Structure 1
Amino acid sequence: MTEHAPLILLVEDEAMLRMAAADLLEEMGFRVETAGSAREATARVGHAGAAYDAVIIDLGLPDRSGADLAREIRGNRADVPIVIASGYDETDLDNVLADDARIGFLGKPYGARSMTRVFAALGIAIGHSVTD
């Protein structure tokens, strides 16, 4: 992986899932920074927001709704693609998020194949593919 690989911010409160997803993203050719809460993600985006090529947000964060975090990031960085990850159905997204072409949905559990599909739909270049 090079310093020119796309940088992803992964926001996931479950440590094991966060580590597994980060490893998978790195295998796919991305650089990854992680956050375990909305507060940590907000600090990271405020510090290096312009550097992220995409943000993956768990919908069910303990300190704040992932949807609220997505709206805040969208307000500051309208250009950055956001992927909402959830064990719930995509129809649970509110209309503001569901109608935004720069927001994708990733159903849990997910793997490389489903990540590849959502990234392709959002125009996020992938270094190389990994199978589910």
Structure 2
Amino acid sequence: MTATRPQGGSVFLVEDEVMIRMMVADMLEELGFSVAAQAGEINEAMRLAESADFDVAILDVNVNGKVISPVAELIRARNRPFIFATGYGSSGLPEEYRDRPALQKPFQLETLARMLDRALSQRLN
């Protein structure tokens, strides 16, 4: 099985389920990305969104029952691309972010690669 290889880079990963976070981190490494920072709760994610150095973020929409919007706002203010990950589809996204890319959980390696490639290429344009 061959996945399309995005150009690589560093990823900020926010996911409250430890096993899912570990699985996504493994997928990212397989695609040639490094995990620059990761968080499993909103306050930690907000702190890292302001201070961590990363190229793109993957944000779980619902983190321990809290919506990810404050973290997304911080990342948008830094002009960094981000992708949502959700089990609820685009209707599960915060209303102000329904135009943003969303990975439907569970997702495959190829889907993750395409979304990252698209997010990073839009940043360059």
Residue of structure 2 in register with 1:122 after alignment: 119
Render the CA deviation track for 1:95-124: whole Å, top value 9, x for unaligned.
42123xxx3110000121111221232235
Q: Does the alignment pair 1:22 with 2:22?
A: no
**How many pairs are equivalent?**
114
After TM superposition, give the deviation of residue 63 of structure 1 in Å.
5.9
Residue 45 of structure 2 corresponds to residue 38 of structure 1: no
Name which of 5, 10, 20 aligns with 2:13. Answer: 10
Query: Residues 60 and 18 of structure 1: is their aligned pair in 2 closer, same or farther, counting only changes over 3 Å?
Result: same
**Which residue of the partner structure matches residue 97 of structure 1?**
97
Aligned residues of 2:49 and 2:74 also touching (Cα < 8 A): no
For 1:66, the equivalent position in structure 2 comes to: 68
Contact 1:57 1:66 in 2 (8 A): yes
Q: Secondary structure at the match of 1:109?
A: coil
User: Structure 2 length as normaliser, TM-score?
Assistant: 0.80
The runs of at least 4 aligned residues of structure 1 exceeding 3 Å deviation read none
Counterpart contact for 1:22–1:34, Cα < 8 Å? no
The alignment's TM-score, normalised by the length of structure 1, stands at: 0.76
2:94 and 2:49 map into 1 onto residues whose CA distance is 23
Distance 2:28 2:119 in 1: 16
Q: Structure 1 unaligned segments of length 5 or more: list them.
A: 125-132
Which residues of structure 2 form unaligned runs of 5+?
1-7
2:88 aligned with 1:88: yes
3-state SS in 1 of match to 2:63: coil
How many Å apart are 1:43 and its aligned residue? 1.4
